[in-house]
Amino acid sequence: MVGTHVLRLLGGAIASIAVLQTGDSMRRRHALSLLAISLSLSLPSLAAQTESQRFHQWLDAQWELTLQRQPVLATSLGDPRYNDRLIDTTTAAYRAQATRELQAQLKGLAGFDRAKLAPKDRISYAILKLDLEQSLAGQRFPEWMQPISQIGGLPNFLAQLGTGQSIQPFKTTKDYDDWLKRLALAVPVLDGSIANMRDGLKAGVVQPRAVMDKVLPQLSALAVTDPEKSLFWGPIKNFPEAVPAADRERITADMRKLLATQVLPAYARLLAFVRDEYTPKARTSTAWSALPDGKAWYAHRVRQSTTVTLTPDEIHDIGLKEVARILGEMEGVRKQVGFQGDLKAFFKHLQDDPKYYYSKPEDLLAGYRDLQNKINALTPKLFDIQPKADYEVREVEAFRAESAAGASYQSPSTDGSRPGVFYVNTFNLKAQPIFGMETLSLHEASPGHHFQVTIAQEDQDLPKFRRYGSSYVAYVEGWALYAESLGKELGLFTDPYQWYGRLSDEQLRAMRLVVDTGLHHKGWTRDQAIKYMLDNSSMAESDVVSEVERYIVWPGQALGYKIGQLEMTKLRAEAEKALGAKFDIKGFHRVVLTAGQVPLPVLRELVMEWVKSAR
């Protein structure tokens, strides 16, 4: 069981750390004195220092191995050393090596004496152990047999890199040469994806037909024959001045040849396979439990996403209760604005009336940029910690817009050369209501993902795997959903329609608890899931379809949002009750944000110990 397992490993380490995260300087000095006394009584400080130093050296070595094995991760962090590399993850040899490395890391981790580690390091030990154990447990499931879907996979990701508008740099001649080398390495990976999908056909591990129909137009857009009409031609059309004319000529010729003779034919092979061989044999079912070993596979996904021990049935019931509660609040808004008609009629009114939507993409983007400035000025009310890096609002690329989420966030580079990015999907403006903009900005940007991700990246006290590597959905997305609830305290949601937008987005996350478990545990059909969401929200049908098809190919992930938010809201309420007038909202937020990505049981212990220290 996740919770008790992690807490047993942590021992008393959390108590010491949470004390240090209070905002009061006198209390902090007192806490440091107590911590020094505690350490001197419990273990020799030199021994703890030595064990922790050894632990950090080992962590640094493991992180370097991670970057070598995941060179695109290094690129995303602004580390250019491996920009010319791409690892072929489609081979059996790669999978076997990954298993050996996980086992070796667990063995190496076991070589440290937890009792001799500094308090923060004991938490890192526990988190890494859980990460490695969960990853190793997941090796039994054939994720590799489903390498592409309508929401992601290497073909689309490569195209994003190659546009020149993503994380791959195109500023110097070396940048271009690095990309040419990396792109050439993509060909065997694309062909390997075909081989793995063929294995999936034989094993019965196949994507549903409904989602593969969405993949075909994406691949068609990538499998063009003319290099100059390819998305990969973007950097050639936009050479920076730093690249000399002679280099431009050589790079252009090399790119044309690589695309024409290797990359585009590989995309054509993938398209032909998916169209002619795979999609006709795609399954008609949607449940993950319908796959071989699917029930255990889904249970594993649920544990990874939520970090708690709730069963799918318990999560489903929580979702039903939350959906009913939020519908009641929506009814209150309907009455407040004086709408004549029932709630379903109100939903339809919000869907159909053009005054609630922009007619031009540029107006939507400008609206989000205005909100960026407005919210940035308000966050000091509730936060005494801010990210150093800023973010920019950017439109989702056209080739992936039809199937992409309504919005997403990309973290900044660690060297400050690239800001965070709040991606806004303008493909269907009817899926981007004006009344939802404040909420979406709070979630994706400040103080949501941009705060959480960037503050962790900038925290030099956290080991690198916690700053960049761990990904606990319940913490990351739970924080972003909690951040939405801060709108009124920040001075937003003054318009009842904007408050409705906040309820609408919360309703989406509540419905996810019902629909995800309904699809993969209770045997719901795609149409049944779509109808449920349409009946309980004012979401556009196109948006609902996109959401449901996302849950179909990414089971369990959507559960972390609401489960995490409910726990954070509960933790705040418990802290407010315990501390009364002493409760400091800035201190609470500092504890949660400076924890780094942690499982929810660990976050609870951190907050509760902060409460004890603040009394």
Give the pTM: 0.86
Q: Is residue 613 part of a domain?
A: no
Residue 401's pLDDT is 83
The DSSP letter of residue 467 is I
Given a contact cutoff of 8 angstroms between Cβ atoms, the answer to whether 399 and 221 are in contact is yes
Q: Is residue 508 part of a domain?
A: yes
Q: Are residues 318 and 379 in the same domain?
A: yes
Q: Last residue of some domain: 564, 582, 605?
A: 564
Given a contact cutoff of 8 angstroms between Cβ atoms, the answer to whether 251 and 243 are in contact is yes
Please report, rounded to a whole number, the percentage of residues in the chain having pLDDT higher than 90: 83
Given a contact cutoff of 8 angstroms between Cβ atoms, the answer to whether 552 and 527 are in contact is no
- Label residue 23 by pLDDT band (50, 70, 90): very low
Answer whether residue 83 shows pLDDT above 70.
yes
Residue 49's pLDDT is 58
Residue 4's pLDDT is 32
Distance CA 45, CA 571 (A): 33
Q: Is residue 601 part of a domain?
A: no
Cβ neighbour number for residue 159 with a 10 Å cutoff? 21
Answer whether residue 43 shows pLDDT above 70.
no
Q: What is the extent of the structural domain holding 205?
A: 144-285
Partners of 149 in beta bridges: 152
Q: Are residues 166 and 227 in the same domain?
A: yes
Q: Are residues 433 and 303 in the same domain?
A: yes
- Amino acid 185 reads L
**DSSP-assigned states of every residue in 42-55:** HS-HHHHHHHHHHH
Q: Is residue 571 part of a domain?
A: no
Into how many domains does the chain fold? 3
Q: Are residues 98 and 153 in the same domain?
A: no
Question: In a 3-state reduction of DSSP, which class is residue 150?
Answer: coil
Higher pLDDT, 501 or 28: 501
Give the 3-state secondary structure percentages of the chain, helix then strand then coil, rounded to 5. Answer: 70, 5, 25
- Determine whether 496 is exposed, middle or buried from the number of CB atoms within 10 Å of its CB (0-12, 13-18, 19+): middle
**DSSP-assigned states of every residue in 10-29:** HTTHHHHHHHHT-S-HHHHH
Distance CA 50, CA 30 (A): 25
Alpha helical stretches, state H, 238-355: 245-258, 264-273, 294-306, 312-336, 343-352
Distance CA 394, CA 447 (A): 18
Tokens representing residue 586 in the block: 């800035």
Residue 488's pLDDT is 97
Q: What are 457-493's pLDDT values in tens digits? A: 999 889 998 888 767 999 999 999 999 999 999 999 9
- Amino acid 171 reads K
Answer whether residue 41 shows pLDDT above 70.
no
The DSSP letter of residue 147 is -
Q: Are residues 229 and 308 in the same domain?
A: no
Q: Are residues 98 and 207 in the same domain?
A: no
Distance CA 603, CA 615 (A): 19
The predicted model gives 297-301 an average pLDDT of 96
Q: Are residues 440 and 535 in the same domain?
A: yes
CA dihedral of 219, 225, 226, 230, whole degrees rounded to 10: 10
Q: Mean of the per-residue pLDDT values for the chain?
A: 91
Answer whether residue 16 shows pLDDT above 70.
no
Q: Are residues 439 and 523 in the same domain?
A: yes
Alpha helical stretches, state H, 391-537: 398-401, 437-444, 449-458, 464, 473-484, 487-490, 496-520, 526-535
Q: Is the dihedral of CA 519, 525, 530, 535 positive or negative?
A: negative
CA dihedral of 165, 169, 171, 173, whole degrees rounded to 10: -130
The predicted model gives 564-571 an average pLDDT of 98
Distance CA 360, CA 44 (A): 66
Partners of 394 in beta bridges: 423
Name the residue among 347, 349, 199, 362 with its Cα closest to residue 281: 199
Q: Is residue 77 part of a domain?
A: no
Residue 17's pLDDT is 33
Q: What are 126-164's pLDDT values in tens digits? A: 999 999 999 999 999 999 999 999 988 888 899 999 999
Given a contact cutoff of 8 angstroms between Cβ atoms, the answer to whether 162 and 181 are in contact is no
Q: Are residues 136 and 150 in the same domain?
A: no
Residue 398's pLDDT is 84
Q: Is residue 2 part of a domain?
A: no
Higher pLDDT, 31 or 514: 514
Q: Are residues 253 and 133 in the same domain?
A: no
Output 458-463 pairs: Cβ under 8 A, ≥24 positions apart.
458/387, 458/388, 458/389, 459/594, 459/596, 461/120, 462/124, 462/596, 463/56, 463/59, 463/60, 463/63, 463/124
Q: Is residue 174 part of a domain?
A: yes
Q: Are residues 149 and 181 in the same domain?
A: yes
Sequence length of the chain is: 615
CA distances (Å), 210 to each of 4, 147, 150, 437, 523, in order? 40, 16, 10, 30, 16
Distance CA 38, CA 130 (A): 27
Residue 149's pLDDT is 94
Answer whether residue 5 shows pLDDT above 50.
no
Distance CA 242, CA 404 (A): 34
Residue 298 has, within 13 A of its CA and on its CB side, a CA count of: 27
Alpha helical stretches, state H, 356-405: 361-378, 398-401
Residue 10's pLDDT is 34
Residue 239 has, within 13 A of its CA and on its CB side, a CA count of: 18
Q: Are residues 107 and 94 in the same domain?
A: yes
Given a contact cutoff of 8 angstroms between Cβ atoms, the answer to whether 609 and 15 are in contact is yes
Q: What are 162-183's pLDDT values in tens digits? A: 999 889 999 999 999 999 999 9
Distance CA 372, CA 383 (A): 16
Partners of 318 in beta bridges: none
The predicted model gives 212-230 an average pLDDT of 95
Report residue 79 CA to chain centroid gap: 20
Q: Is residue 589 part of a domain?
A: no
- Label residue 415 by pLDDT band (50, 70, 90): confident
- Amino acid 29 reads R
Residue 470's pLDDT is 66
The predicted model gives 29-39 an average pLDDT of 36
